[in-house]
A and B are shown apart, each in its own frame.
Chain A
């Protein structure tokens, strides 16, 4: 069958059909990206933390801009060559476009990879430490008295880690369900047995459950094979059940069964509650025909005594279920997402959230679980913001911060900060000459320093101050030394100093392309060790993450926007690649057919370029 209007235009629209199609699609794309950009604006205006402006390396973004512009020209040239019937030239321009797409994605991959391996931690006082945390150097040693798995979530590597570390005997757990209703919870204290999905007869009020007088229609037990129905359950006294019959093991399968059961139970409970409410509304409306809904609403709520017999016991409340198990467990570093200490409320009940939302109940063994940072960024902006909120001088608060005092075991952070202050406010060099500070220079021009200049020490400055090649370091001995001696760290002159050759920046680092290249690890040796060390006990860390969406809203938006854009690049390259490699038949049949197809594919490609034209300044330069 002949497809109409692939070459000649339709009379009513004046266009061939594919062009109408692509423009409709592009219109929807404009709105999609428009929505995301407005989300960016909204989150940036409303951010309650200092927005990390101009933090991404500019050079790869700049190269990518050139690459995309060049590919846009290449696509339009490919189309022009088809129009002029130059198939050879068309092939070359198309190949060039695909190569450009490859370069773009390659650079993105390097950029992403650097982010995935670069850590940051927000300390309890809102100091932010940036740097590399070497895998293997850090473990999380827990003194555990239990785990809390949320039955609603998928438990991945952490679950396996934990289960792996338990001996075979240990894998039989006593589970305590946290049911929402206290009465239900009490009734569930069936020794060592996993009970779920109780369906109670309507004529037996729940309050009597636990006496053994209750007729239970269906009782299910959780075993390593999932839930098993227990048949002769009528009149069974829960306390009399023999636990050894139920060979429960904590496996993914049982977790899955729990999750399914929870979902089912919730479904049932929702229906029961809704039915009760509906019935009450019906009665109330019938009895008070003249009253408005809002007048009646106050008296209507779920009648717990009526619905209780029909409710299913859910296996987990919002907390999921607990595994009671004492012992010591070591988890790989980087697994801890947040420490939620409920100390004021429950002194022994510390809740540590791992990255998959598993909660480890118990305390970290601090001296075994410190984070070893190779610091390449010291950021007090958040701390300064907080200080200003309570009308305090940010500089004073920074001086008192943990990282510059008791946390600074080797004195590195203090020297860096003093050097930074010298740069800001000026200093007297060795020959007695006054060197003017940055703030004074700006003041002379009627300008003021930005918070970033005041409160953040950048990577290149840390290297400069730390390596000793920078004149400001001469002033560092002004630092109060006692803290060094107090903490038992090495004396200041014994600090390990890397050689200049070791500190020489690689080409890619110099141009800010990457901090290091883990993918090319064998080619460029890991160099983080040349950055100053800082040992941060976990108790000081409130939030730590790599520079991924988990770190803050900015990175969440960065990955969403560039990720979606990257998918467009891949999709566009696939489409154009198809026309390039498989367009021969179209060309032989009618060159205009292929030309139209390439024009349509090209329109999409230009749009991808157009989005990047906005993304680059917004994410990299603003």
Chain B
């Protein structure tokens, strides 16, 4: 992480650049959801819109994490904490997947 005055002065430019990129992505995510010409997949909301929307959000979140939260150059310990949290959060999502293999929904279950 930059801590010398010169490095910080340099990174200030990056902060504003990231601000611009984030705004552009925000406009983009609204545009693909509202402007019919830019709609991916069939028109209206569908699974392609979902993945595109989530992908844009993930890129935005990564930029905030990497630049604003200085995750691009952090100590190992913090990566460890954050990594474990992400693993658990993903595990929570994976639990939802269990619903798909729940045999109670099989037609011949009973």
**A-B contacts at CB below 8 angstroms, number:** 144
CB distance from B69 to the nearest CB of A (A): 5
B42 proximity list for chain A (CB < 8 A): 447-448, 450
For B83, give the chain A residue with the smallest CB separation: A27
Known A-B contacts A41-B96, A610-B61; the reply to A58 vs B34 at CB < 8 A is yes
Chain B CB count within 10 A is highest, among A20, A35, A62, A73, for A73
Interface size of B as a range = 35 or more
A15–B44 touching, CB < 8 Å:
no
A31–B89 touching, CB < 8 Å:
yes
B9-36 vs A, Cβ < 8 Å mask (1 yes, 0 no):
1011001101100110010011001100
Known A-B contacts A31-B92, A84-B9, A621-B33; the reply to A606 vs B64 at CB < 8 A is yes
Please pick, from A42, A54, A614, A618, the residue contacting B96 in the complex, using a CB distance under 8 A: A42
A84 and B68 alpha carbons, distance in the complex (Å): 17
B41-78 vs A, Cβ < 8 Å mask (1 yes, 0 no):
01111000110011011001100110011000001111
For A32, give the chain B residue with the smallest CB separation: B89
B8: interface (CB < 8 Å): yes
CB distance from A62 to the nearest CB of B (A): 6
A27-45 interface with B by 8 A CB criterion: 27-28, 30-31, 33-35, 37-38, 41-42, 45
For A42, give the chain B residue with the smallest CB separation: B96
A484 and B20 alpha carbons, distance in the complex (Å): 58
B77–A20 touching, CB < 8 Å:
yes
Question: Chain A interface secondary structure, helix, strand, loop or mixed?
Answer: helix
A450–B3 touching, CB < 8 Å:
no
A76 proximity list for chain B (CB < 8 A): 15, 68
B45–A34 touching, CB < 8 Å:
no
Known A-B contacts A23-B82, A30-B89; the reply to A83 vs B3 at CB < 8 A is yes
A574: interface (CB < 8 Å): no
CB distance from A560 to the nearest CB of B (A): 15
B85–A13 touching, CB < 8 Å:
no
For A43, give the chain B residue with the smallest CB separation: B96
A603–B33 touching, CB < 8 Å:
no
A331 and B19 alpha carbons, distance in the complex (Å): 53
A618 proximity list for chain B (CB < 8 A): 53-54, 57
A30 proximity list for chain B (CB < 8 A): 82, 85-86, 88-89
Known A-B contacts A45-B96, A617-B54; the reply to A83 vs B8 at CB < 8 A is yes
Known A-B contacts A15-B78, A26-B85; the reply to A35 vs B92 at CB < 8 A is yes
A622–B45 touching, CB < 8 Å:
yes
B84: interface (CB < 8 Å): yes
A609: interface (CB < 8 Å): yes
A20 proximity list for chain B (CB < 8 A): 77-78
A160: interface (CB < 8 Å): no
A622–B50 touching, CB < 8 Å:
yes
A66 proximity list for chain B (CB < 8 A): 23, 26
A452: interface (CB < 8 Å): yes
A31 proximity list for chain B (CB < 8 A): 85, 88-89, 92
B104: interface (CB < 8 Å): no
A42 proximity list for chain B (CB < 8 A): 96, 99
Please pick, from A65, A77, A614, the residue contacting B15 in the complex, using a CB distance under 8 A: A77
B110: interface (CB < 8 Å): no
A505 proximity list for chain B (CB < 8 A): none
Number of residues on chain A facing chain B (CB within 8 A): 57
For A445, give the chain B residue with the smallest CB separation: B43
CB distance from B43 to the nearest CB of A (A): 6
For B22, give the chain A residue with the smallest CB separation: A69
For B1, give the chain A residue with the smallest CB separation: A599
CB distance from B95 to the nearest CB of A (A): 7
A14–B15 touching, CB < 8 Å:
no
A570-586 interface with B by 8 A CB criterion: none
CB distance from B32 to the nearest CB of A (A): 9
A70: interface (CB < 8 Å): yes
B77 proximity list for chain A (CB < 8 A): 13-15, 20
B54 proximity list for chain A (CB < 8 A): 614, 617-618
B85 proximity list for chain A (CB < 8 A): 26-28, 30-31, 34
B93–A38 touching, CB < 8 Å:
yes
A613: interface (CB < 8 Å): yes
A603 proximity list for chain B (CB < 8 A): 69
B109: interface (CB < 8 Å): no
A23 and B77 alpha carbons, distance in the complex (Å): 10
B30 proximity list for chain A (CB < 8 A): 58, 62, 621
Please pick, from A46, A58, A69, A83, the residue contacting B19 in the complex, using a CB distance under 8 A: A69
B12–A77 touching, CB < 8 Å:
yes
A37 proximity list for chain B (CB < 8 A): 93
A606 and B66 alpha carbons, distance in the complex (Å): 11
B15–A73 touching, CB < 8 Å:
yes
CB distance from B99 to the nearest CB of A (A): 7
A54–B15 touching, CB < 8 Å:
no
B106: interface (CB < 8 Å): no
A610–B93 touching, CB < 8 Å:
no
A162 proximity list for chain B (CB < 8 A): none
B50 proximity list for chain A (CB < 8 A): 622
A611 and B106 alpha carbons, distance in the complex (Å): 36
CB distance from B90 to the nearest CB of A (A): 8
A27–B84 touching, CB < 8 Å:
yes
B61–A27 touching, CB < 8 Å:
no
Q: Can you report 24 A-B residue pairs in the complex whose CB atoms are below 8 A from each other? A: A26-B82, A27-B82, A27-B84, A30-B88, A31-B85, A31-B89, A38-B93, A54-B33, A72-B64, A73-B19, A77-B12, A80-B8, A83-B8, A450-B45, A606-B64, A606-B69, A613-B64, A617-B33, A618-B53, A618-B54, A621-B29, A621-B30, A621-B34, A622-B33
Contacts beyond the supplied A14-B77, A41-B93, A66-B26: 15 A-B pairs with Cβ under 8 Å: A15-B75, A26-B85, A27-B84, A30-B85, A30-B86, A34-B88, A34-B93, A42-B99, A58-B34, A69-B26, A73-B19, A77-B12, A80-B15, A450-B45, A453-B44
B: residues with CB less than 8 A from A are: 3, 5, 8-9, 11-12, 15-16, 18-19, 22-23, 26, 29-30, 33-34, 42-45, 49-50, 53-54, 56-57, 60-61, 64-65, 68-69, 75-78, 81-82, 84-86, 88-90, 92-93, 95-96, 99
A: residues with CB less than 8 A from B are: 13-15, 19-20, 23-24, 26-28, 30-31, 33-35, 37-38, 41-42, 45-46, 53-54, 58, 62, 65-66, 69-70, 72-73, 75-77, 80, 83-84, 442, 447-450, 452-453, 602-603, 606-607, 609-610, 613-614, 616-618, 621-622
Instruction: Please provide the 4 A-B residue pairs with the shortest distance between their CB atoms, ordered closest to farther.
Output: A34-B89, A450-B44, A27-B85, A621-B33
